[in-house]
Amino acid sequence: MPLVGSRRSEAPSPVRRQGSVVLVGGGPGNPGLITVAGLAAVRGADVVVTDRLAPLAVLDEAPAHAEVIDVAKIPRGAFTSQERINELLVEHARAGKRVVRLKGGDPFVFGRGGEEWQACVEAGLPVEVIPGVSSALSGPALAGVPLTHRTLTQGFTVVSGHLPPGDPGSTLDWGALARSGTTLVVLMGIATLPAITAELVAQGMTATTPAVTVMEAGLPGQRSVTGTVADIARLGEEAAVRAPAVTVIGQVAGLSLQSPAAPAPPPRDASSASG
Protein backbone atom coordinates (compact mmCIF):
# COMPACT_ATOMS: atom_id res chain seq x y z
CA MET A 1 0.00 0.00 0.00
CA PRO A 2 1.24 3.46 -0.71
CA LEU A 3 2.28 5.59 2.22
CA VAL A 4 -0.22 8.09 3.51
CA GLY A 5 0.30 11.39 1.76
CA SER A 6 2.41 9.94 -1.04
CA ARG A 7 1.65 10.69 -4.70
CA ARG A 8 1.67 8.44 -7.69
CA SER A 9 4.17 9.43 -10.31
CA GLU A 10 2.23 10.76 -13.31
CA ALA A 11 3.26 12.45 -16.52
CA PRO A 12 2.25 16.09 -16.44
CA SER A 13 -0.80 16.97 -18.50
CA PRO A 14 0.19 18.76 -21.70
CA VAL A 15 -0.52 22.47 -21.57
CA ARG A 16 -2.36 23.69 -24.63
CA ARG A 17 -0.78 26.90 -25.77
CA GLN A 18 -2.81 29.88 -26.88
CA GLY A 19 -3.18 30.08 -30.64
CA SER A 20 -2.99 33.34 -32.53
CA VAL A 21 -3.40 34.86 -35.98
CA VAL A 22 -1.05 37.22 -37.79
CA LEU A 23 -2.32 39.05 -40.89
CA VAL A 24 0.76 39.63 -43.04
CA GLY A 25 0.91 41.94 -46.04
CA GLY A 26 3.37 40.40 -48.47
CA GLY A 27 3.76 43.30 -50.89
CA PRO A 28 3.26 43.12 -54.67
CA GLY A 29 4.62 39.60 -55.15
CA ASN A 30 8.39 39.96 -55.27
CA PRO A 31 9.70 38.11 -52.19
CA GLY A 32 12.29 40.84 -51.66
CA LEU A 33 9.52 43.36 -50.96
CA ILE A 34 7.97 41.68 -47.92
CA THR A 35 8.80 43.44 -44.65
CA VAL A 36 11.30 42.05 -42.14
CA ALA A 37 8.45 41.57 -39.65
CA GLY A 38 6.33 39.77 -42.24
CA LEU A 39 9.15 37.36 -43.08
CA ALA A 40 9.76 36.68 -39.38
CA ALA A 41 6.07 35.81 -38.96
CA VAL A 42 6.23 33.27 -41.79
CA ARG A 43 9.35 31.73 -40.28
CA GLY A 44 7.52 31.24 -36.99
CA ALA A 45 4.24 29.88 -38.38
CA ASP A 46 2.55 26.57 -37.68
CA VAL A 47 -0.02 27.21 -40.40
CA VAL A 48 0.20 29.56 -43.40
CA VAL A 49 -3.04 30.46 -45.16
CA THR A 50 -2.08 32.00 -48.49
CA ASP A 51 -3.36 32.86 -51.94
CA ARG A 52 -2.02 33.43 -55.43
CA LEU A 53 -1.22 37.14 -55.01
CA ALA A 54 1.10 36.56 -52.05
CA PRO A 55 4.89 36.28 -52.59
CA LEU A 56 4.81 32.49 -52.85
CA ALA A 57 8.60 32.13 -52.84
CA VAL A 58 8.48 33.25 -49.19
CA LEU A 59 6.79 29.94 -48.33
CA ASP A 60 10.22 28.33 -48.60
CA GLU A 61 11.05 30.18 -45.37
CA ALA A 62 8.24 28.52 -43.41
CA PRO A 63 9.24 25.81 -40.91
CA ALA A 64 9.27 22.22 -42.17
CA HIS A 65 6.33 21.34 -39.91
CA ALA A 66 4.17 24.23 -41.11
CA GLU A 67 0.96 23.41 -42.95
CA VAL A 68 0.35 25.56 -46.04
CA ILE A 69 -3.27 26.08 -47.06
CA ASP A 70 -4.06 27.58 -50.47
CA VAL A 71 -7.22 29.69 -50.50
CA ALA A 72 -6.82 31.14 -53.98
CA LYS A 73 -9.50 33.33 -55.48
CA ILE A 74 -8.95 33.12 -59.23
CA PRO A 75 -11.29 35.25 -61.39
CA ARG A 76 -13.71 32.87 -63.10
CA GLY A 77 -11.70 29.97 -61.62
CA ALA A 78 -10.91 28.28 -58.30
CA PHE A 79 -12.56 30.08 -55.43
CA THR A 80 -12.51 29.91 -51.65
CA SER A 81 -15.20 31.97 -49.97
CA GLN A 82 -14.20 34.65 -47.50
CA GLU A 83 -16.39 32.97 -44.90
CA ARG A 84 -14.41 29.73 -45.27
CA ILE A 85 -11.10 31.60 -45.01
CA ASN A 86 -12.29 33.19 -41.77
CA GLU A 87 -13.28 29.75 -40.46
CA LEU A 88 -9.86 28.29 -41.28
CA LEU A 89 -8.07 31.04 -39.38
CA VAL A 90 -10.26 30.55 -36.33
CA GLU A 91 -10.18 26.73 -36.41
CA HIS A 92 -6.40 26.46 -36.53
CA ALA A 93 -5.81 29.20 -33.97
CA ARG A 94 -8.27 27.54 -31.58
CA ALA A 95 -6.22 24.36 -31.97
CA GLY A 96 -3.28 26.24 -30.46
CA LYS A 97 -1.50 27.03 -33.73
CA ARG A 98 0.28 30.20 -34.72
CA VAL A 99 -1.55 31.04 -37.93
CA VAL A 100 -0.14 33.40 -40.56
CA ARG A 101 -2.51 34.77 -43.16
CA LEU A 102 -0.16 35.70 -45.99
CA LYS A 103 -1.72 38.13 -48.45
CA GLY A 104 -0.54 40.17 -51.40
CA GLY A 105 -0.14 43.92 -50.97
CA ASP A 106 -1.45 45.28 -47.69
CA PRO A 107 -4.15 43.32 -45.83
CA PHE A 108 -6.18 46.44 -45.09
CA VAL A 109 -6.18 47.85 -48.66
CA PHE A 110 -8.81 45.89 -50.61
CA GLY A 111 -7.43 42.73 -49.04
CA ARG A 112 -10.39 41.90 -46.78
CA GLY A 113 -8.01 41.97 -43.86
CA GLY A 114 -10.58 43.93 -41.89
CA GLU A 115 -13.10 41.10 -42.22
CA GLU A 116 -10.52 38.52 -41.14
CA TRP A 117 -9.46 40.68 -38.19
CA GLN A 118 -13.10 41.00 -37.10
CA ALA A 119 -13.66 37.23 -37.32
CA CYS A 120 -10.63 36.54 -35.12
CA VAL A 121 -11.56 39.18 -32.54
CA GLU A 122 -15.14 37.91 -32.35
CA ALA A 123 -13.74 34.42 -31.73
CA GLY A 124 -11.68 35.77 -28.82
CA LEU A 125 -8.35 35.16 -30.54
CA PRO A 126 -5.23 37.33 -30.37
CA VAL A 127 -4.66 38.87 -33.80
CA GLU A 128 -1.79 40.99 -35.08
CA VAL A 129 -1.52 42.99 -38.29
CA ILE A 130 1.78 43.38 -40.13
CA PRO A 131 1.29 45.95 -42.90
CA GLY A 132 2.60 45.35 -46.40
CA VAL A 133 3.41 47.54 -49.39
CA SER A 134 0.15 47.97 -51.28
CA SER A 135 0.20 47.33 -55.02
CA ALA A 136 -1.55 50.70 -55.35
CA LEU A 137 1.76 52.29 -54.37
CA SER A 138 4.35 49.74 -55.42
CA GLY A 139 2.96 48.96 -58.88
CA PRO A 140 3.27 52.50 -60.22
CA ALA A 141 6.60 53.03 -58.41
CA LEU A 142 8.14 49.91 -59.94
CA ALA A 143 7.05 51.17 -63.35
CA GLY A 144 8.63 54.57 -62.75
CA VAL A 145 5.36 56.43 -62.24
CA PRO A 146 5.14 58.72 -59.18
CA LEU A 147 1.63 59.11 -57.78
CA THR A 148 2.35 62.67 -56.72
CA HIS A 149 4.57 65.32 -58.22
CA ARG A 150 5.02 68.83 -56.87
CA THR A 151 4.34 70.49 -60.21
CA LEU A 152 1.53 68.20 -61.38
CA THR A 153 -0.71 66.93 -58.59
CA GLN A 154 -1.10 67.24 -54.85
CA GLY A 155 -2.80 63.95 -54.08
CA PHE A 156 -4.00 60.57 -55.28
CA THR A 157 -7.13 58.47 -54.87
CA VAL A 158 -7.18 54.66 -54.81
CA VAL A 159 -10.38 52.90 -55.84
CA SER A 160 -11.52 49.37 -56.51
CA GLY A 161 -12.77 48.77 -60.02
CA HIS A 162 -14.39 45.40 -59.40
CA LEU A 163 -17.81 47.05 -59.82
CA PRO A 164 -18.38 49.26 -62.88
CA PRO A 165 -20.05 52.69 -62.77
CA GLY A 166 -23.80 52.34 -62.46
CA ASP A 167 -23.66 49.01 -60.65
CA PRO A 168 -26.17 48.97 -57.76
CA GLY A 169 -23.41 47.89 -55.39
CA SER A 170 -21.01 50.69 -56.30
CA THR A 171 -20.52 53.47 -53.73
CA LEU A 172 -18.14 55.60 -55.81
CA ASP A 173 -18.96 59.05 -57.15
CA TRP A 174 -17.25 58.84 -60.54
CA GLY A 175 -18.16 62.43 -61.36
CA ALA A 176 -16.31 63.67 -58.29
CA LEU A 177 -13.35 61.46 -59.15
CA ALA A 178 -13.27 62.79 -62.72
CA ARG A 179 -13.12 66.37 -61.46
CA SER A 180 -10.89 65.81 -58.41
CA GLY A 181 -7.62 66.88 -60.01
CA THR A 182 -5.79 64.05 -58.24
CA THR A 183 -4.10 60.97 -59.61
CA LEU A 184 -6.56 58.09 -59.86
CA VAL A 185 -5.31 54.56 -59.11
CA VAL A 186 -7.63 51.72 -60.09
CA LEU A 187 -7.15 48.25 -58.61
CA MET A 188 -9.03 45.13 -59.73
CA GLY A 189 -10.32 47.00 -62.74
CA ILE A 190 -9.14 45.21 -65.87
CA ALA A 191 -12.55 43.78 -66.81
CA THR A 192 -14.39 47.01 -66.00
CA LEU A 193 -11.81 49.48 -67.32
CA PRO A 194 -13.73 50.27 -70.55
CA ALA A 195 -16.79 51.31 -68.53
CA ILE A 196 -14.72 53.19 -65.95
CA THR A 197 -12.73 55.25 -68.45
CA ALA A 198 -15.81 56.02 -70.54
CA GLU A 199 -17.59 57.28 -67.43
CA LEU A 200 -14.64 59.44 -66.38
CA VAL A 201 -14.61 61.14 -69.79
CA ALA A 202 -18.40 61.52 -69.76
CA GLN A 203 -18.12 63.16 -66.33
CA GLY A 204 -15.64 65.77 -67.51
CA MET A 205 -12.16 64.29 -67.45
CA THR A 206 -10.14 65.42 -70.46
CA ALA A 207 -9.91 62.57 -72.95
CA THR A 208 -6.18 63.16 -73.46
CA THR A 209 -5.36 62.67 -69.76
CA PRO A 210 -2.35 60.30 -69.62
CA ALA A 211 -2.91 56.75 -68.35
CA VAL A 212 -0.79 53.67 -67.79
CA THR A 213 -1.59 50.10 -66.83
CA VAL A 214 1.10 48.09 -65.04
CA MET A 215 0.76 44.30 -65.06
CA GLU A 216 2.47 41.90 -62.63
CA ALA A 217 4.46 44.67 -60.94
CA GLY A 218 7.64 43.41 -59.31
CA LEU A 219 7.45 40.02 -61.02
CA PRO A 220 9.39 38.71 -64.03
CA GLY A 221 6.36 39.31 -66.25
CA GLN A 222 6.03 43.00 -65.38
CA ARG A 223 5.14 45.22 -68.32
CA SER A 224 3.36 48.50 -68.89
CA VAL A 225 0.91 49.83 -71.45
CA THR A 226 0.66 53.60 -71.85
CA GLY A 227 -2.03 55.71 -73.45
CA THR A 228 -4.76 58.14 -72.47
CA VAL A 229 -7.89 57.74 -70.42
CA ALA A 230 -9.79 57.45 -73.70
CA ASP A 231 -7.80 54.56 -75.13
CA ILE A 232 -5.98 52.78 -72.27
CA ALA A 233 -8.67 50.10 -71.97
CA ARG A 234 -8.45 49.26 -75.67
CA LEU A 235 -4.67 49.31 -75.69
CA GLY A 236 -4.56 47.05 -72.65
CA GLU A 237 -6.92 44.59 -74.28
CA GLU A 238 -4.85 44.57 -77.46
CA ALA A 239 -1.73 43.91 -75.37
CA ALA A 240 -3.48 41.02 -73.56
CA VAL A 241 -3.08 42.67 -70.17
CA ARG A 242 -4.46 40.48 -67.40
CA ALA A 243 -4.76 40.62 -63.63
CA PRO A 244 -3.05 41.46 -61.40
CA ALA A 245 -2.70 44.93 -62.83
CA VAL A 246 -2.89 48.54 -61.66
CA THR A 247 -4.07 51.44 -63.80
CA VAL A 248 -2.93 55.00 -63.09
CA ILE A 249 -4.84 57.91 -64.63
CA GLY A 250 -3.55 61.46 -64.35
CA GLN A 251 -0.77 63.77 -65.46
CA VAL A 252 1.87 61.74 -63.60
CA ALA A 253 1.14 58.79 -65.87
CA GLY A 254 2.82 60.75 -68.65
CA LEU A 255 6.12 60.75 -66.77
CA SER A 256 8.76 58.08 -67.16
CA LEU A 257 11.33 57.98 -64.40
CA GLN A 258 12.84 54.68 -65.45
CA SER A 259 16.54 54.89 -66.22
CA PRO A 260 17.12 54.89 -69.98
CA ALA A 261 18.78 51.81 -71.37
CA ALA A 262 22.53 52.10 -71.75
CA PRO A 263 23.45 52.88 -75.34
CA ALA A 264 24.85 49.97 -77.28
CA PRO A 265 28.60 50.20 -77.93
CA PRO A 266 29.49 51.26 -81.46
CA PRO A 267 30.33 48.39 -83.79
CA ARG A 268 33.99 47.62 -83.87
CA ASP A 269 35.70 48.64 -87.08
CA ALA A 270 37.17 45.43 -88.42
CA SER A 271 39.79 47.36 -90.37
CA SER A 272 41.25 48.75 -87.15
CA ALA A 273 41.55 45.41 -85.46
CA SER A 274 45.11 44.47 -84.67
CA GLY A 275 46.71 41.23 -85.78
Residue 168, phi then psi, degrees to nearest 5: -60, -25
103 in catalytic set: no
Q: Which residues are CB-contacts of 65 (< 8 A; sequence separation ≥ 6)? A: 46
Residue 135, phi then psi, degrees to nearest 5: -65, -20
68-80 burial by CB neighbour count: b if 16+ within 10 A, else e? ebebeeeeeeeeb
Contact (CB, 8 A) for 210 and 228:
yes
Looking at 51-130, which runs of residues are DSSP E strands?
Answer: 67-70, 98-103, 127-130
Contact (CB, 8 A) for 187 and 215:
no
Instruction: Give the integer Cα–Cα distance in Å for 197 and 225.
Output: 15
Marked catalytic residue, from 51, 106, 205, 215:
51
Looking only at the bridges linking them, the beta strands covering 210-215 and 223-228 are: antiparallel
51 in catalytic set: yes
Residue 142, phi then psi, degrees to nearest 5: -65, -20
Marked catalytic residue, from 97, 106, 188, 205:
188
Which residues carry out catalysis?
51, 73, 188
